[in-house]
Amino acid sequence: MIELRQVTFWYHGQPEPVLSDVNLSIGEGELVLVAGRTGAGKSTLLGTVNGLVPHFTGGHLDGAVAVAGVLTRSRPPREFAHLVGVVGQDPLAGFVTDTVEEELAYGMEQLGLPPQVMRRRVEETLDLLGIADLRRRALRGLSGGQQQRVAIGSVLTTHPRVLVLDEPTSALDPTAAEDVLATLARLVQDLGTTVLMAEHRMERVVPFADRVVYVAGGGRVVDGSPSAMLRDMPVAPPIVELGRLAGWEPLPLSVRDARRLAAGLRADLGAPPPRPVPTGETLLTSSDVVVRYGATVAVRGVDLDLHAGTVLALMGRNGSGKSSLLWALQGSGPRQGGTVRVGGVDPGQRSSAQARTLVGLVPQTASDLLYLETVADECAAADAESGAATGTCRTLLDRLAPGIDPARHPRDLSEGQRLALVLAVQLAAAPRVVLLDEPTRGLDYTAKHALAGMIRTLTGEGRAVVVATHDVEFVAAVADRVVVMAEGEVVSDGPTAEVLGGSPAFAPQVAKVLGADWLTVEDVRTALAEVAR
């Protein structure tokens, strides 16, 4: 169905090719998972399938890519619309019309299908994806998971033979992501469409993937069966890492498989690791915080205390009030009721320059804070803004992410490096409370590891850190305390092991296999080392 023969691709002026000499042949009805680190070339590989690379992106492509026998070299991407459906990371950015029904019909209108066929397919697709009750809704008013399902539906209506999905769940909360992935699994079973998908929640896709393609970076691409590939891929879900650690054979790909193999390991492990709850001095107290936008209430009377040297994870589905709470605590966002005190002062009453010396916030789109041409300029501006000594910001940056070239443009940095830069800019004002809103978005396993290191550095200096995130595994690795919000209220609050381990929705994979006391592969590794000694 898809043939790549000796494909080499590079952007003009870049010394290294993004893809070099890639050979790949994907048969009809296969589901192929594309894995690799951020920036390794996954999106480029996916883009070659319908010719967006290089017709749209520019650059130079050698070799041949063919879909159903048609070479992408010979035609522009729009002539592949009936063969290949493409779904991106951010569904809202790809919508052309503004209601669900029209969006589903858009692709068919372009292909010039007869009106009766369009009518029938729209109805079928609405049912297939379970979105029939949304048909007249405005696209902007839908939740993220609903939007992504509409985006998938809008390419399915043209009955493409290949579906290409580039990290379709990266912007979704865990439940919405499950929804989308479950829908996709069903489509593969029912329609027999060939699917090529990049996805960082690999564990959800691996059980029904026929093949894994690993983009290794430096242009190399390796492919093979999932169990063979996962044995030594550097990016792997925790369950596979646990399997490698325990030496399980064959390597388990799902929680179910792993649990069957885990009896021996459970017996080997001694007592669960002790989890001391650090209790530093209270840096921030808040009570009865209320945030509302017109008639909608975002935060309904939340009480929260933050202690020095601890990491608090704030969880909950999209729209549960996490961001509104963080902005209200920082003082820049609206707050209609309640009190916030940082060292006896309400940051909401202070000027924004003073508020940031009390509480630092890194917003969801961190790059909103950056506007200058080089890293050095940003650092200098940050020092000036916070009245810190020259070089403060740069020193902080070097501690968080060493070795960033000061002459580089902030936009050219990797996601992780950019996050470090924004964090350094905010820390230049020396706040003792640091709030991070969805910092793990778009980060791969390695970058998350680096972020966890940064957060540990901050708590080591006696700061209080709050991380709002959907990433259960990340929370299991860094947080001391977890607060779960729903509909603007706190629904659970307690030590990480208690909150995560006991909940079926939030339990990390290791806990699902070994029980609520074990949260991360790291826990297991230390425990095994103890036992060996």
| Of 47, 296, 70, 238, the residue nearest 161 (C-alpha) | 70
- Considering only 26, 86, 163, 171, the residue that binds other proteins (CB under 8 A) is 86
Report, in Å, the least distance between residue 231 CB and other proteins: 35
Tokens representing 433? 């409370």
- Site stretch for other proteins (CB under 8 A), options 70-78, 219-227, 260-268, 468-476: 70-78
- Considering only 147, 320, 496, 509, the residue that binds other proteins (CB under 8 A) is 320
- Considering only 371, 405, 453, 526, the residue that binds other proteins (CB under 8 A) is 371
- Considering only 32, 302, 361, 413, the residue that binds other proteins (CB under 8 A) is 361
Contact 298, 324 (CB under 8 A): yes
Report, in Å, the least distance between residue 97 CB and other proteins: 7
DSSP class of residue 207 equals G
165: left (phi over 0), alpha (psi -120 to 50) or beta: beta
Report, in Å, the least distance between residue 103 CB and other proteins: 10
319 lies in the site for other proteins, by CB under 8 A:
yes
**What residues pair up with 437 in beta bridges, in sequence order?**
468
374 lies in the site for other proteins, by CB under 8 A:
no
434 lies in the site for other proteins, by CB under 8 A:
no
Of 21 and 101, nearer to other proteins (C-beta) is 101
Q: What is the DSSP string of 81-150?
A: TTTEEEE-S-HHHH--SSBHHHHHHHHHHHHT--HHHHHHHHHHHHHHTT-GGGTTSBGGGS-HHHHHHH
- Considering only 12, 13, 58, 93, the residue that binds other proteins (CB under 8 A) is 93
Of 426 and 496, nearer to other proteins (C-beta) is 426
Report, in Å, the least distance between residue 388 CB and other proteins: 12
58 lies in the site for other proteins, by CB under 8 A:
no
Q: Which residues contact 492 (CB under 8 A, 6 or more apart)?
A: 482, 483, 484, 499, 503
Of 105 and 258, nearer to other proteins (C-beta) is 105
529 lies in the site for other proteins, by CB under 8 A:
no
CA dist., res. 219 & res. 506, Å (int): 36
> Within a 13 Å sphere around the CA of 154, how many CA atoms are in the beta-carbon half?
29
State which of positions 107-146 bind other proteins (CB under 8 A): 107-115, 118-119, 122, 133-138, 140-143
> What are 241-244's contacts with CB under 8 Å, separation 24+?
241/521, 242/509, 242/510, 242/513, 242/521, 242/524
Which string of x and - marks every residue 476-505 that binds other proteins (by CB under 8 A)? Answer: -----------xx-----------------
DSSP class of residue 273 equals P
Of 296 and 460, nearer to other proteins (C-beta) is 296
358 lies in the site for other proteins, by CB under 8 A:
no
State which of positions 264-283 bind other proteins (CB under 8 A): none
Tokens representing 414? 């990797």
187: helix, coil or strand?
helix
State which of positions 152-171 bind other proteins (CB under 8 A): 154-155, 158
412 lies in the site for other proteins, by CB under 8 A:
no
Report, in Å, the least distance between residue 372 CB and other proteins: 8
Q: Which residues contact 429 (CB under 8 A, 6 or more apart)?
A: 356, 357, 360, 385, 386, 388
State which of positions 16-35 bind other proteins (CB under 8 A): none
Report, in Å, the least distance between residue 366 CB and other proteins: 9
Of 357 and 469, nearer to other proteins (C-beta) is 357
Report, in Å, the least distance between residue 138 CB and other proteins: 8
- Site stretch for other proteins (CB under 8 A), options 177-185, 229-237, 290-298, 512-520: 290-298
Report, in Å, the least distance between residue 8 CB and other proteins: 22
232 lies in the site for other proteins, by CB under 8 A:
no
42 lies in the site for other proteins, by CB under 8 A:
no
Residue pointed to by tokens 């048909």: 135
199 membership: H or E segment, kind and range: none
Contact 378, 368 (CB under 8 A): no
CA dist., res. 45 & res. 23, Å (int): 11
Tell me, by CB under 8 A, how many residues bind other proteins. 86
Of 92 and 261, nearer to other proteins (C-beta) is 92
> Which parts of 447-501 are beta strand (E)?
464-468, 481-486, 489-495
| Of 201, 214, 174, 170, the residue nearest 442 (C-alpha) | 170
Please name the residue ranges forming H helices in 143-287.
144-156, 174-191, 202-205, 226-230, 238-246, 255-261, 263-268
72 lies in the site for other proteins, by CB under 8 A:
no
- Considering only 18, 32, 105, 436, the residue that binds other proteins (CB under 8 A) is 105
